[in-house]
Structure 1
Amino acid sequence: MKSSHTPTKHAIPFGQNGNKRDIPLESKTGSGEASLSLGFPPETMVPKVSGGIPPSGKDFNGILNELSAMGRWANAGAGYPFDAAFANAVGGYPAGAKIPNVENSGFWLNTVDNNNNLDNPEVADDRLTGRVPAENYGIATLSGLVKADVTLTTLQSAKVRIVLTGELKANMAVIFPAWQTSWTVVNQCTGSGSLICRTKAGAGVVVPKGESREIIGDGSGLVPRIVNASTTVAGITQLSSAIDSDSETLAATPKAVKALADTLSSGRLLNIQSFTKSGIYTPTLGTRKIRVKCWGAGGGGAGTSTNGGATSGAGGDVEGLYVLPNIATIEVVVGSGGASVDGDVAANGGDGGASSIMALSITADGGGGGQSTGNLKGGKTSGPSGSIILIQGQGGMGSLASFSDGIGGAFFSSSGGVPHVGGPGECGGYPGGGGAGAFKSYENSAHASGRGADGLVIVEEYS
């Protein structure tokens, strides 16, 4: 047979408007009327002269009308809904029979020959009738879920997409029939409870809130269509933004990748800017943190008109690692070294200037200038929380005898000036060292004191 051999379809059955009789199951004996059980009875097959009764045209019209009506129904693609009485009369539906559902949105497929289960396939529980969904249109929506388990009707379970809504106040289950088929379950519920889809006695699949899962019925329980991924099995995996996890089942989000990249790239030294005098610090593009090293200036040594002179103190030092403030430019102050004193002049040395970055609340005081008596202390420091080094400058050592100079205070990473019998006192070592005191030698030669060293600010920039 070819597709071109399609027979003619008729819009009306045979004898639609003709004179006809409905064909009964049984006919009266001797009436000559046709019936479903006998067809045309024996008397219609006997000559009239021998007492026979001719077949009725009404019966012919009735029979052909009924048969052609069935053909027209089939031509229209229609079927017959489940009929328990009919099923019982024919000994059960045959395997492969397709029965329209009551909604006319799909079909039931009868899977057992001589199916003597007379339960309607559209039951309100998970009973198995030997009839399973074959083709179904639409979505089943269950709303108002709270905490009690819910059993899907077979009509609901026949849909391939199940949408669940409600506010779960406790864990609950949605019970599916133990069919061999598949569903997409969408969990739109809120609340604290979890939701699991399972059969009455078999395994199930958890569907997280706000997510959907494709699940398969294997005839006993439910399993996910796509299994959880692992290092050896391809499948579905949960996303995570953590960058400190050692999980082998979670997948990183772009947020996690960016955070990790930022972490790996941070701490890289971008640039170093040094300030030997006051100025403006402009951060290099990409700088996130800065390490600041700040030295105050040293004081100048004291002068004298007699033998032996006092000395000066060193500046302070503060260092720290700081998050770069959201400021386009930052003022940097670098202290100047304390002034020296000319030879044969009895005077105090100049105080060293403070170095500072006020935007970071950092200050390293300068050392005090040398005086005629006592050993002057070095400069102090201050810095915000996060400073990693705070060092006070060393105080100078005064004159030990009438024919000796005082030594300038040493500073962190530098030295104080030392005296010389035949020449002026040394200036403080850079950065921030205190200058040596003046000295008038026993030969009555006057010499100047040493100048304090200037301060210094270094900014190391890190990504």
Structure 2
Amino acid sequence: MKNSDDLGRFDTLIGASASSSDIATVPQTQATAGDGTASIAAGFPPETFISRDAGGSPPRGQDMNGFLNRISKAIQVLQAGFPGQFDSNFASGIGGYPMGAMIPGSAIGTFWVSTADNNTTTPGASGASWQSLFAGSVSGTLGVVSTNNDQNGTGLHLNGSTSRASFIYASGSGDLAWYSDIASEASARATADTSLSSAISAETTRAKAAEATAVSGTLGVIEANKDEVVTGLHINGATGRPSVVHTSGSADIAWESDVTSEASTRASADTALSNAITSEASARATADASLSSAISAETTRAKAAEATAVSGTLGVIAANKDEQGTGLHLDGATGNASFTSSSGSFDLASYATATTMPTLYTSSTTLTVGSGKSIAVIQAVGGGGSGCSVKGTSIANSTYGAGGAAGGYVNFHIAVSSGDTIGITVGAGASSPVNTINGQTNGGDTIVTLNGTEVARASGGTGGVWNSVASCAGGTGGGASTQNGATPITYSNGTDGGDGQTGAESISSVTGYGGAGVWGGGGRAGNGGGNSGTGFGAGGGGAYDTSYSDTFYGGGAGHDGCAIVEIK
């Protein structure tokens, strides 16, 4: 047989495309004796070998397809190179694996070989009749620690060019030494060590003789004082003086005659210096007297100037990271006093700026920021929603109205400059509804803009609404928002309005009050007409009619919103 021969591999199982009615799953044993069905144990049963005329049953094509499908499946697994892992039931069924049988282990890359016939023991178990396929091999991974950057060994062979064992690992290879190489090197090293020991002994004897008459260059050296070792002493040919050589350089030292000549010269110089000092002392005394007079005059002047000066250091606490004041002047660009410290300068508020009072606006307007102003603090309140109007002859009609909600509230600040424009649109309060059913009227939004761009909004509260006998909900409080550089200080949604009637049979949960504004004033529910809100942004109260008079009674109107502006 050759490698090129057709192996007849089963890439498709026999009966793979057969319909379920044309192929059977053959059971281990025949389920009903004499019914003509095949089984693994009996194959085709005896009745299939008896002619139909004699009462037999012909073999079934479904059983034949089932047999062939199962056999081709087993062959396909073997052709795919997988003989199957150890199976104790299979081992018992065949009376045990034969000697030499090879099966894969549960871990990838492990294989077991049976060492006995009729082998039913479990591979890897103590005393089992199996051994690893790689028993006796040298592991290239045993002991490898990946965190130490160890590499797997992959081969070991004789290098023909060097006649040494060559070890191959993941990133390269290298020759290993024979025992004879190490023994030879050890012998050579011992001989060299003996020669070296003799040389050291000879040099020690010579050095001791030479050092016996030498002057120490290290005696008294204290490394902590950065002393340096002297390494030489010779005559400098250029100067004719002894030159001392030390670790970091060299320097000449004096002869005795140099010292005595210098002493005579120094004595003459000392006499001349003494005379000069006496002359200088006299001149200095005269100068000191003049300086003392000048200092006294300057002290008098400085005291007079400092009597009205402001200290730039008084009260400075360094631990608090206080800074010294260095100047105080009028800033021509802003018209404000400008204070200068160690790290910069900034304007101080004038009396007029510091005492600026906030202004209430109840209608829409546009403001222009004046000179020297840098920040605006603004409060905005949205308009209040209205209460429900009613008209009915019984509790089944719109006779108990809900209250309107209050507008939202926001308090914020924003940086401004001279000439900027601040736009104020004040949200109107909702008017009393003219309809009873779905007649809701809502409060308007109060909007603040800076140079035409919206920076804050306080939304109006919604009105109470009568949708049906079971649905008469109070209004929802308006929200609040800031954007485009505005920084909120505080804000809140408006108070919701109270509910009206919630069913035809009960009015126990009816309140109908108008939501209170940020400063109160919610309208009270009223028999014969709801009360309007009285506080900025407050909701109107719902109307109710306890007499069921079929008279139209209007809900209370919501109160207008407002804005309070302070520019400083």
TM-score normalised by length of structure 1:
0.46
TM-score normalised by length of structure 2:
0.38
Which one has a larger percent helix, Structure 1 or Structure 2?
2
Larger CA Rg, structure 1 vs 2? 2
